[in-house]
Amino acid sequence: MSVFVEVDHIDRIFPLPNGGTYVALKNIDLKIKQGEFISLIGHSGCGKSTLLNIIAGLDKATHGGVILEGRHVTSPGPDRMVVFQNYSLLPWLTVRENIALGVDEVMGNRPKGERKGIVEHNIDMVGLRHAAHKRPGELSGGMKQRVAIARALALRPKVLLLDEPFGALDALTRGGLQDQLMKICEETNATCVMVTHDVDEALLLSDRIIMLTNGPESHIGQILDVDIPRPRVRMEVVNHPSYYSYRNEIIYFLNQQKKAKQRQSKKLQVISRNGLEKINLELGFIPLTDCAPLVVAKEKGFFEKYGLEEVTLNREPSWKAIAKGVATGRLDAAQMLAGMPTTITIGAGNKSSVPIVSALNLSRGGNAITLSKRFYDQGVRNLADFKEAIAKSPDKVHTLGMVYPSSMHNLLLRYWLASEGIDPDRDVGLTVIPPPQMVSNLKAGNIDGYCVGEPWNSRAVNEGHGFVIATDLDIFPGHVEKVLGVREEWANKYPQTHLALVKALLEACEYCDDMRNREEVVQLLSKDEYVGSVPEDIRPGFIDPYDWGTKAEPRMLPRFNQFYVNKTNCPDRGEALWVMAEMARWGILPFPKDWLSLTERIWRVDIFGEAARELELLDLERDRHPILLFDGKVFNPDDPISYLNSLDIKRQLRIEEVNIDAGVSVA
């Protein structure tokens, strides 16, 4: 579907009496499809209504503009009708006359009978036939708002703009009008943009929810796609398996903005101390057990110990948000997937190159492959059984979830499937799902299984929805999992701050792998602002014996989660090269001709070594040796092309020279 409304890089700047300026909106870029319902949500003062007024033509952008069906919006018009919170009805006119006023003005060239028919049709559409002769003073608040909606729809606008239309109504009336608006929009295929403070209202009505950051310089912080089928029924929406995941994402975003506003209100001039260029940092993470080093560094004071006095941990909704947050500078640094520094640096997927460096591995292992319990009930016990189950239902596409294309979850899942002759792109379907949404999608039957980190495998087992068919100890024991990622530009600008960050997290990693501390770490992770899962889901494999959800006896996995032992933390460029090769195998990115210089540039062993020496820890790199996989394949880091050529199942191999600084690759 083509773009219907384009909000093209809008800035809105207001002059102040003292001669200064206030930047209300900054670089708002949004494309809306015909028939789409968009909600704008954010705290008061974030510019939601200002943006709505610019789309309506009631206000003008300072920079950028709005394009509707290829034409620049410069003024108000009947193709964009606004429904305000305060109704704005003429008190001396009846319901019928209020609606007819606009129809007669805009459609005066049409026959009187046709105009009357349009008015009567819209009266019926909002259910006001019995009150058509009444004036606003005789109507309830809900009825007045229905008149306002009917008046707007009667002009058959291309875009319906709603500015908190139900904000002043009681809950019962509001619910009824939401249902009526939803029905009208589905019948008329209206394109709608609505400002709201109500999270549940946004989820009920919207196809996409645009979350705006605090002002000044408010911008789009996150866009949430509401993948709930239409037509929608209120109770079915609430019971949809993704509903509360969506709701939690919005609430978490709003809470983070609230905290940011509080920090801003008491923010002091930050002066570099302890030799650091920057002491206030924003770090991103995903709610997984292996975010433990960041949580421990925050809660146990390791950041402050090394001069980082104000560190905020931002729980991000997805790995895509992590990648974008670091690339755009919203985040100073983040917990990243093992392949993410490479894909962001190269600019995989036709994205611009943003060089990323990593001087620290945060964790190894901790992943598992979970299948729906129905496969276990059918007798599936291993990968060969799963292949047979797939073959028995050739008309069904078995869908498996993974968290991000450049994740070890994706690469391990693909490797595991291909080892038994299952093509992960042709024999099954793989789909990207954020880790916290895996269990709900498995429960709903949207997917047949997934590969993810804990605690989301153990939760499926504990709730009886799935069983673990393999852990990463069965596929690639001790593989790199999460790394610390920062922009190369940031690392060059703040070298001492970067070093302090690596030292704080390295000490936290050591703390996490002291088994005497694991009970405390579980309690920290279970807090709502971090993983937010019950300890019973975090403990398996972390402290307690691991339960596969089968008849097998749970057993201890002493190396399931690694944070420090066995030289976990020093970047391993040979292992990073295997990750790069596997991504090339599946067409995620071309294999770079200059792979040696690329790995040297991204994986900063020198910075890790400096941090380790200052902590009086060993700065030794892992031994350089071929990697032996569970199926007997051997990866020689000195000859990655031979490894790729030896693989039976793969996509067409591309070998290209990557020009990082230009953001393009050359064949």
Residues with Cβ < 8 Å from 233, sequence gap 6 or more? Answer: none
Look at the alpha carbons of 447, 450, 452, 456 in this order and tell me if their dihedral is positive or negative.
positive
Distant-in-sequence, close-in-space partners of 5: CB < 8 Å, separation ≥ 6: 31, 32, 55, 66, 67, 68, 159, 191, 193
Per the listing, tokens 């292949």 go with 387
Paired tokens of 198: 């109500």
The reported pLDDT for the residue numbered 390 is 95
pLDDT digits (tens, 9 = 90+) for 44-81: 889 999 999 999 999 999 999 999 998 999 998 888 88
Tell me if 357 sits within 8 A of 491, measured CB to CB.
yes
Question: Mean per-residue pLDDT for 291-312?
Answer: 96
| Sign for the pseudo-dihedral over CA of 492, 495, 498, 503 | positive
Beta-carbon count within 10 A of 421 CB: 12
For position 1, what pLDDT does the model report?
A: 55
Q: What is the mean pLDDT of residues 95-111?
A: 84
Flag the least confident range among 162-171, 190-199, 635-644. 162-171
In the chain, the percentage of residues whose pLDDT exceeds 70 is 97
pLDDT, tens digit, 9 for 90 and up, residues 195-211: 999 999 999 999 999 99
How many other CB atoms sit within 10 Å of the CB of residue 307?
Answer: 19
Is the pLDDT at 16 greater than 50, yes or no? Answer: yes
Read off the amino acid at residue 511. Y
What pLDDT, on the 0 to 100 scale, is given for residue 270? 43
* Rounded-to-integer distance, Cα 88 and Cα 103, Å: 16
Smallest Cα–Cα separation from 180: which of 83, 86, 81? 83
Give tens-digit pLDDT for 178-190. 887 788 788 888 8
Model confidence at 403: pLDDT above 90: yes
Is the pLDDT at 661 greater than 80, yes or no?
no
Indicate the DSSP class of residue 91: T
Q: Kindly report which listed range (320-329, 577-586, 610-619) carries the lowest average pLDDT score.
A: 610-619
Residue 600 tokens read as 């040297």
What pTM does this model have?
Answer: 0.79
In the block, which residue shows the tokens 């040796």? Answer: 625
Answer yes or no: are the C-beta atoms of 76 and 181 closer than 8 Å.
Answer: no
* pLDDT (mean) for 601-624: 87
Mean pLDDT in residue range 130-137: 88
CB count in 10 Å sphere of residue 119: 23
| Cis peptide upstream of residue 17 (ω within 30 degrees of 0) | no
CB 409 within 8 Å of CB 451: yes
Q: What is the pLDDT of residues 453-504, one digit of tens each?
A: 999 999 999 999 999 999 999 999 999 999 999 999 999 999 999 999 999 9
* pLDDT-derived band at 663, boundaries 50, 70, 90: very low
Q: What is the pLDDT of residue 445?
A: 94
Per the prediction, the chain carries an average pLDDT of 90
**Residue-level pLDDT at 57:** 93
Q: 208-237 burial, b if ≥16 CB within 10 A, otherwise e?
A: bbbbbbbbbebbbbbebebebeeebeeeeb
Residue 174 in this model has a pLDDT that exceeds 90: no
For every residue of 444-508, DSSP letters joined together read HTS-SEEEEETTHHHHHHHTTSEEEEEEGGGTSTT-EEEEEEEEHHHHHH-HHHHHHHHHHHHHH
Tell me the three state secondary structure of residue 370.
Answer: strand
Phi-psi bin for 632: left (phi > 0), alpha (psi -120 to 50), beta?
left
Domain boundaries, the chain: 85-156, 273-365+479-539+563-618
Q: Which of 21-25, 121-125, 328-332, 635-639 has the highest mean pLDDT?
A: 328-332
- Give the right CATH number for 273-365+479-539+563-618 from 3.90.1720.10, 3.40.430.10, 3.40.50.300, 3.40.190.10: 3.40.190.10
| C-beta pairs of 547-551 under 8 Å, 24+ apart in sequence | 547/458, 547/461, 547/462, 548/461, 548/467, 548/468, 548/469, 549/370, 549/373, 549/376, 549/460, 549/461, 549/464, 549/466, 549/467, 549/468, 550/376, 550/381, 550/467, 550/468
pLDDT score for 273? 58
pLDDT at 124 over 70: yes
Tell whether the model's pLDDT for residue 398 goes beyond 70.
Answer: yes
pLDDT tens-digit map of 228-279: 999 998 889 999 999 988 998 899 888 878 877 776 665 444 445 578 999 9
Provide the pLDDT for residue 665: 35
